[in-house]
Chains A and B, each alone.
Chain A
Amino acid sequence: MREIIRLVVVLALICAVSGGALTVARHTLAPRIEQQSDFYVRGPALERLFEKPAAELLGNKIILPVGDQTYPVFYLADGDEIIGLAIEAPGPGGYAGDIVVMIGIDLREKRMIGLEIIQHSETPGVGSKVEKSSFRKQWMGLPVDQSVELTAQGGQIDAISGATYSSKAVVSGSNQIIELMIRHGDEIMALIETKEK
């Protein structure tokens, strides 16, 4: 009995110390990691979407809180008018965790400019094909007030063969963004307005 108690106590202590150390590390490094992924991932993605230098766009960032989740939103202004948005959301259901996607939205046309993959851990060579422009370009010009679906569900997006889970995750990420636009569109605009002032 004493033996068993010792096993449990030692293992629990090791796990607790490890967990504590990681929480501290995560807390200290999180801002720096966020900044790095802004620079290396979101920057180039925004550049491709809006065809403007990243430095100009990265500063235009607000965080939209919905429930206990937060969504980064970037915007493009032309004078006083906000003409473009890029919303980022995780798409649950990837083969190896969430696929984080970003959709650029043209606010004048009310259509999507394109879709970018911000983060994924899909299998290289299979699920990672969601990064290919031949897959992503299917989002170009889609309306922002209608959810997207895979063709198998009667929608407009052709899934990547052999990577249905990954394709589905990208679609569900997109739908999350569309829903954010529909339900929280005004909130986003209000946040941008306060930031601009």
Chain B
Amino acid sequence: MKFKEALLHGLWKDLTPFRLVLGLCPALAVTSSAENGMGMGLAATFVLVFSNMFISMLRKVIPDKVRIGSFIVVIATLVVLVEMVMKAYFFPLSQQLGIFIPLIVVNCIILGRAEAFASRNPVLLSMVDGLSIGIGFTISLTVLGSIREVLGAGSWFGMQVFGESFEPFEFMVKAPGAFICLGIMLGLMNAYSRKRGETFIQT
């Protein structure tokens, strides 16, 4: 039961960019295409799963006073590893994502899961939690990237979806498009939740 809860909560209840409104910096910055969004999401998922694993393994060893420092060291190591692997095997993607890959270190989602979940739960459960949050994050970024790419460039994962006559709304792939797209999605999801009578973060 606990596993099911851990596996599913990241997909709707704690869907990071929309429900928790966390990790907005990469969500806004790199989603100019579906591929970039997905690449960023997968990189963050990898870091999440393994940072949760290591932190959960070390949770009884790490003294409370230096826990944040220790978490950051673990996370930063994984991020640098991801960066190197990406450069070695997905070079064009790593150039597209650029500075946002190293910035995963300061992504509040990852430190948040380490502090809130991995530091007080067993290893396997923590990994499932990381996976769940990570998949939710990846899906959110891919969807956001897809909408922006389809409307803003007329293509999806680089494939043309409209004919020649389609005039793309170029501003969707620019920065303002990110805010507008995110805002509309957030609004629609909140409206849907309210209709279903769910409780969610709202003041």
Given A10-B61, A36-B88, are A25 and B81 also a contact pair (CB < 8 Å)? yes
Counting chain A residues whose Cβ lies within 8 A of the other chain, the interface size class is 20 to 34
Is B197 on the interface with A (CB-CB < 8 A)?
no
Write the nearest CB–CB distance from A25 to chain B, whole angstroms: 6
B-side interface residues toward A, CB under 8 Å?
Answer: 58, 61-63, 65-66, 69-70, 73-74, 76-77, 80-81, 84-85, 87-89, 91-92, 95, 98-99
**Are B81 and A40 in contact (CB-based, < 8 A)?**
no
CB within 8 Å: A-B pair count: 56
Assess whether B77 is in contact with A36, with CB atoms less than 8 Å apart.
no
| Residue in contact with A33 in the complex, picked from B65, B66, B80, B84, CB distance below 8 Å | B84
Residue of A with least CB distance to B71? A14
- Whether, in the assembled complex, A15 has its beta carbon less than 8 Å from a beta carbon of chain B, the answer is yes
Chain A residues engaging chain B, CB cutoff 8 angstroms = 3, 6-7, 10-11, 14-15, 18, 21-22, 25-26, 29, 32-33, 36-37, 39-40, 121, 124
Residues of A within 8 A of B61 (CB): 10
CA of A36 to CA of B44, assembled, Å: 23
Q: Is the CB of A22 within 8 A of B80?
A: yes
Provide the residues of chain B in CB contact with A14, threshold 8 Å.
58, 62, 70, 73-74
The answer to whether A18 and B87 have CB atoms under 8 Å apart is: no
